[in-house]
Structure 1
Amino acid sequence: MTNDEPDPEEPLGDSDSGTSSADDANPGPDNGKENREELLYDTLEELGRPVVTAVRYAQENETNQSDATAALDALVEDGIAERLDVSADPVVWYPSDWARMTDRERVVVFPERRELVVDQPTQLTRAQLSQFAHLVDTTGSGAYKYEIRQEDIWQAPYETFGDLQDTVHDVLPERYPHLEEWLESQYRRANRFTLRTHEDGYVVLEAATDDLMGNVARQKLEEGQLRATISETESWVAEEHVAAVKRTLYDAGYPVRDERDLDSGNELPVELNLELRAYQEDWRSNFMENRSGVLVGPPGSGKTVTALGILAAVEGETLVLVPGRELAGQWREEILAHTSLTDEEVGEYHGGEKNVRPVTIATYRTAGMDRHRQLFDTREWGLIIYDEVHHISAPIYRQSTDLQTQHRLGLSSSPVREDDREKDIYTLIGPPIGTDWDSLFDAGYVAEPEVEIRYVPWDSPEVQNEYVSSHGHDRRQRAASNPAKIQEIKQLLSRNPEEQALVFVEYLDQGRAYADALDVPFISGEMPHARREKFFEQFRTGIVSTLVVSRVGDEGIDLPSAQLAIVASGLGGSRRQGTQRAGRTMRPTGRARMYVLATRGTREEEFARQQMRHLSSKGVRVTERSGEAFDMSETPREEHQS
């Protein structure tokens, strides 16, 4: 018997009291067999379990144990339920028709391990879980495994613990006091250390108690990171080691609130020439209150526009860091189009041109190189914007986080990394903002993508045999380049002739072959920048309706007319890449559809599910089915939900 269940021998009420009867829990024959059956399933759904004891049945239906037992036995006589005596527990009852339970949401909680397994979760449940839990795994049968980690609670987007607790209560089938105590303790941990500026200008680390300062900070930090002791709860921090102090304490289980009074740089009056949506205003207000944060709204939700609104609110010289030159050019166009800034006030600094202006757009790589850093170090920035912020965990990109600024803003629809170092993002930049994707989908601000994984058989036994006899990288490439995928892509394009489509590939040879077969351009990193931009512009204007694109199209390319994304092959199980590719079609209007092709019987099946995991965690429904080109029926049968 589990600890959280009452003793099955303990009476829950007096059957002679007149307050309840067997009819309350078990409607009689006059009420109909269907009503009795539905009550059983409703009870199981409330409990989040496929079996029930008489004690729990009585509790859920507000009757006593004796009457609950009679009601359950009546269900057995009806053929609706069966009973089983188990040695480690009292008698349990369960539905005779197990299949009836497969389409109902069930949440099973393992409080000691802080894990949850959710069968057939609704979109709302997945969206709520994304606020305080981490999706670990999914199965083809519709089961989702979540883990509640320290960093999930530290980063939970709630003003008070009570707000977080309300969401937890909405999702979990019952109260778990020990789990809630742990949740509250982790929520408090996020406010135990603070960085502030002393009136004499140096940086101070302040702890909530002298024990935290003495036994955590001064024990964990390396020599030289703390210059001197100020008091039992305060230490003078070496300014060049601020980022290292934040990372060390985060790893020790204590995220640091950064409330330093940093230099704001030269003033830069800016007017925004557009109106922000209500949720974008909320994002901006949230950011301005904290002075740091990471916008993690879905693709198409207007993170760049919100960043421009923040730039106008800060009114200080601004550095925008981007992963590539294409993004630098797009940022410059957006700034000039939607703000009062002029050509002379906005510059780019990368391999193509090098102009430092009041607003400068630079690549991460250039800003991190020693020979260029002095240019950025000597300027006092009021705001640094880190676009595609997940890049900062890379060593050369991370150097940019040491640049001094009053405000730090990160942008990413998918701040996840396969090395699980996304915590670096929130440590170095700030807490997440805008994580509730579901509300934006419901309000129609962003088109929720229809995501479908399609399993494609081998083109021929000969091709399959070549795969079986290969190894390592060669084997992965053969699965990715399965010729049968070309026929599948043609079928999908023919069914959507009016929609502009992007076909994503991972390998250059594959991209060239698909482009030849489809008679469309292939865009890769080998193509000169000017020619790439020419094809992208033709796609935007509708001259070209389909493009085959390599990894160069994963992030930062603005192609608002794309409605259909077909992923023929991808980077292993990269969740970030899956989200970015889906994001190419996610816009406020129209349909957003994505097909992920995987060769049956290969690791591509596993990779495809993993790529879609971040979208699933945000409430996006992901389905799986056989490749359409190989189905006998005109409309493919949906096999199951991922």
Structure 2
Amino acid sequence: MDALSDGDDSIDSGDFVDSENADHSDDSAGSADPVDPDDPADPDDPVTLDSFYDALQAEGRPVATAQQVARRLDISQADAAEALDALSDAGTVQRVDVESDPVVWYPTRWGDVATRERIILFPERREIVVDRPEQYTRAQLSQFAHLVDTTGGDADERGYLYTIRTEDVWQAPFDEFEGLRRSMRSVFPRRSPHLEEWAERQWKRAHQFTLRTHEDGYVVLQSVNEDLMGNVAREKLSEQHLHAPISDTESWVREGEEAAIKRILYEAGYPVKDERDLDTGDPLEIDLNVELRDYQQDWVDRFTDQRSGVLVGPPGSGKTIAGMGVLAAVGGETLILVPSRELAGQWRDELLEHTSLTADQIGEYHGGTKEIRPVTIATYQTAGMDRHRQLFDSRAWGLIVYDEVHHIPSRVFRRSADLQTKHRLGLSATPIREDDKEEDIFTLVGPPIGTDWSKLFDAGFVQEPEVEIRYVPWTDEMAENEYRSADGRERYKLAAHNPAKIDEIRHLRGQHLDAKALIFVDWLEQGDAIAEALDVPFISGEMPHYRRQQLLQQFRDGDIRTLVISRVGDEGIDLPNAELAVVASGLGGSRRQGAQRAGRTMRPVGNAIMYVLATRGSPEEDFAERQLRHLAEKGIRVRESGAWPTGGDEQ
């Protein structure tokens, strides 16, 4: 995707910038660009080193005259010549006299032109192309844009294509549109009134309808004007949802229809603000025994303001601890829904360790036990069964917590619609679903509340792992021919089981002899084969719970240095952080699974690396690249290489 390679005038269809010329500050929208330490020119000068690079790029030539620079930067030739003289005096630009023109100019450091970050904005298409993006740029774009594609090998040479969708604007983590505008301006090459006006229109659409509680206790749907109420709400909604008009901008909502109203209006392009007075349930006093980090406290404060939402942050960022902060802030009896019995037990242990709750105040409700207490932890599977409806109806819950919230669009979905009167908190490293039903999460639970992963990396709370995709060839021609003659699911299985992966894992293990390693598989047969080849334990769902816990504790203590683990380790087990993770096979490129597994190497201190193995010439290549795009969008640097010994050079 070297969209910047052409030097003709077609580049003018987009705006181009070097990252160092963008406003990366958090000051007001009109603040000046930071000064490049290698560029002594005042950023307000008509020509800076960065804008000179821009002019060269637009010309498609390594040298330019003052007239060409003036034309590209829309300034007078006299101003351009004077500014270029100043840059020449500073040593950052060189000049030479030629016969065809009195003077041409070229950069002193040629390499800077080729290796700097470059951005092209296409406002009409709402697309951004970035070559060699810096981490700051990726972090900012992740707040309001969707990563569509990447190209190239090493992350330092990769091109990125982003698009800005309406839902990206709706869900941007800013309190006011001005915050979103500042974030956009900090990475865009220059201001784009067209794009900013579009984004502001979308932002306003997300603030046109509000659900609120009337002073008499019933729920009201309110619009900002009568046209929206008449031409949108009352056209889209039926008597099943609304009792009757209260005024030109207000309608009386039927009890229990709040979730349906939010979904219908969301699909119509109008996300609904939920400002109802929600039940706090029977009171429950909870004190925290741990001090929240600043960003965790910010999550709690934001949830307290909006009373529903999804805490989004990387594994290791302390979402569970922040969730306990929400429990204490709400101060009501709480139902916690989790995907597995293991996670239920972990929640119980964490609550006992980090809060003032006692053992007789915490109950578990699943296949093994059914205790309903002031704080009850239930599995999604049990909660979704009709015969356990008493779980939801037996107490006046003030807060519902959905751990691993991406499980919500399931059998619990119907129950969630019935729980709209409660405070609703979701927790997830990546609240996305491969069936693109993220809107179900945000309409039933609440909008995202989170801190960009890169900010946590930069602050040192979580160390950014290295991620490398390694393309593994077939062991021999016979194995490849067997794959090519297969079809459907058998092909996926053969690619995943490629025997060459065992040799690659041995090689990687040898490169990181002192590291504690987790090897992830999606197929039990493959897990058995790798465990036997490396003479290490294999943890799967078939292993008894007590034996899993023994092995994990031995891994934590350092008595075992390598574990092979099945999909059971993706979530629901408190896996120890590893210094090395190898993904031998995965869920068809599931973005969520990629983030979960990368999270197993995210630790407060130290460096860690994750390798994703993909069989060359198979769908695993596409799967790995899909995970790559999502991790890159989160601010994690990803590189690609060939497997040993076929050539480990980065491609």
TM value normalised by structure 2: 0.85
Verify the 8 A CA contact 2:469 2:638 in the aligned structure 1.
yes
- Equivalence for 1:19: none
Q: Which residue of 2 aligns with 1:87?
A: none
Aligned-partner Cα distance in 1 for 2:223–2:549? 52
Residue from 104, 111, 116 that aligns with 2:116: 104
Amino acid at match of 2:590: S
Check conservation: 2:259, 2:420, Cα contact below 8 A. Answer: no
Alignment partner of 1:415 is 2:431: yes
What is the match of residue 35 of structure 2? none
Corresponding residue for 1:461?
477
2:69 to 57, 67, 80: 57
* 8 Å contact from structure 1 (residues 50, 94) kept in 2: no
Q: CA deviation at 1:405?
A: 4.6
Alpha-carbon shift at residue 346 of structure 1 (Å): 0.4
TM-score scaled by structure 1? 0.86
Q: Distance in 2 between matches of 1:533 and 1:147?
A: 44
Q: Which amino acid aligns with 2:121?
A: V
Identity of aligned residues (%): 62
Instruction: Measure, in 1, the Cα distance between the counterparts of 2:437 and 2:544.
Output: 33
Aligned to 1:127: 139
CA distance in 1 between counterparts of 2:166 and 2:224 reads 19
Per-residue CA deviation, residues 356-403 of structure 1 (Å, 9 max, x unaligned), is 110001112221221112331342211111111111123544533422
Q: Which residue of 1 aligns with 2:650?
A: 638
Structure 2 distance, partners of 1:600, 1:508, is 22
2-side partners of 1:49 and 1:567: how far apart? 43
Secondary structure of residue in 2 paired with 1:362? strand
2:571 to 538, 551, 555: 555
Aligned counterpart, 1:625? 641
Selected match of 1:384 from 400, 403, 412: 400
Instruction: State the AA in 2 paired with 1:386.
Output: Y
Q: Indicate the residue corresponding to 1:369 in structure 2.
A: 385
**Per the alignment, in what secondary structure is the counterpart of residue 489 of structure 1?**
helix
Counterpart check, 1:224 vs 2:240: yes
Other-structure match for 1:176:
192
| Aligned match of 1:528 | 544
SS across alignment from 2:489 = helix
SS class of match (2:291)? coil
State how far apart, in whole Å, the 2-side matches of 1:580 and 1:47 are. Answer: 43
Distance 1:58 1:245, change over 3 A: same
8 Å Cα contact 1:365/1:397 also seen in 2: no
Contact 1:48–1:107 (Cα < 8 Å) also in 2: no
Q: Secondary structure at the match of 1:625?
A: strand
SS of 2:517's partner is: strand
Distance change >3 Å, CA 592–CA 46, structure 1 → 2:
farther
- After TM superposition, the structure 1 = structure 2 runs for residues 88-167 of structure 1, keeping only pairs within 5 Å, are 102-141=114-153, 142-167=158-183
- Matched residue, 2:217: 201
Relative to structure 1, is the Cα distance of residues 55 and 168 closer, same or farther in structure 2, using a 3 angstrom cutoff? farther
CA distance in 1, matches of 2:594, 2:57: 31
Alpha-carbon shift at residue 498 of structure 1 (Å): 2.1
Deviation per CA, 1:75-98, whole angstroms, max 9, x where unpaired? 999799x9xxxxxxxxxx999x99
The answer to whether the 8 Å contact 2:58/2:72 transfers is: no
User: d(CA) in 1 for partners of 2:341 and 2:143?
Assistant: 34
Q: SS in structure 1 opposite 2:180?
A: helix
1:446–1:588 contact (8 Å) kept in structure 2 = yes
Instruction: Give the partner amino acid of 2:130.
Output: V
Q: CA deviation at 1:99?
A: 8.9
- C-alpha RMSD over aligned residues: 3.1
Give the Å deviation of 1:290: 1.3
Q: Is the 8 A contact 2:541 2:568 kept in 1?
A: yes
Letter in 1 for 2:170: W
2 CA distance for matches of 1:328 and 1:129?
A: 36
SS in structure 2 at match of 1:615: helix
Match of 2:462 among 446, 455, 479: 446
Q: Which amino acid aligns with 1:129?
A: L
User: Does the Cα contact within 8 Å between 2:221 and 2:253 map onto a contact in 1?
Assistant: yes
8 Å contact from structure 1 (residues 380, 404) kept in 2? no
Please state how far the C-alpha of 1:518 moved relative to its aligned partner. 1.0
Whether contact under 8 Å (1:383, 1:406) holds in the other structure is: yes
Q: Which blocks of at least 5 consecutive residues in structure 2 are unaligned?
A: 1-8, 15-46, 85-92
* Residue pair 1:135, 1:145 contacting (<8 A) in 2 also: yes
Give 3-state SS (helix, strand or coil) of 1:613's partner: helix
Partner SS, residue 130 of structure 1: helix
Cα deviation, residue 305, structure 1? 0.7
Change (3 A) 1:3 1:140: closer
The alpha-carbon deviation at position 40 of structure 1 amounts to: 8.0
Distance 1:98 1:149, change over 3 A: farther
2 CA distance for matches of 1:48 and 1:179?
24
Q: CA deviation at 1:581?
A: 0.4
2:202 counterpart of 1:186:
yes
Matched with 1:539 is 555
Give the 3-state SS of the residue equivalent to 1:240 in structure 2.
coil
SS across alignment from 1:498: coil
Match of 1:471 among 484, 487, 493: 487
CA apart distance, 1:553: 0.7
CA gap 1:497/1:173 in 2 versus in 1, 3 angstroms: same
Deviation at 1:544, TM superposition (A): 2.0
Instruction: State the match for 1:301 in structure 2.
Output: 317
The alignment status of 1:233 with 2:249, answered yes or no, reads yes
Q: Residues 285 and 77 (structure 1 numbering): CA distance in 2 closer, same or farther, change over 3 Å?
A: closer
Instruction: Measure the CA separation in 2 of the matches of 1:206 and 1:292.
Output: 19
Q: 1:57 to 1:163 in 2, by over 3 A?
A: farther
Q: Distance in 2 between matches of 1:70 and 1:444?
A: 45
Deviations 1:407-446 (A, max 9, x none): 2111111112222221222222122122322121111100
- 8 Å CA contact 1:579–1:612 kept in 2: the answer is no
Task: Give the paired residue count.
Answer: 592
Q: How much has 1:138 moved relative to structure 2?
A: 1.4
Q: What is the aligned partner in structure 2 of residue 35 from structure 1?
A: none
Closer/same/farther in 2, CA of residues 586 and 377 from structure 1, 3 Å limit: same
**Unaligned 5+ residue runs, structure 1?**
7-37, 83-92
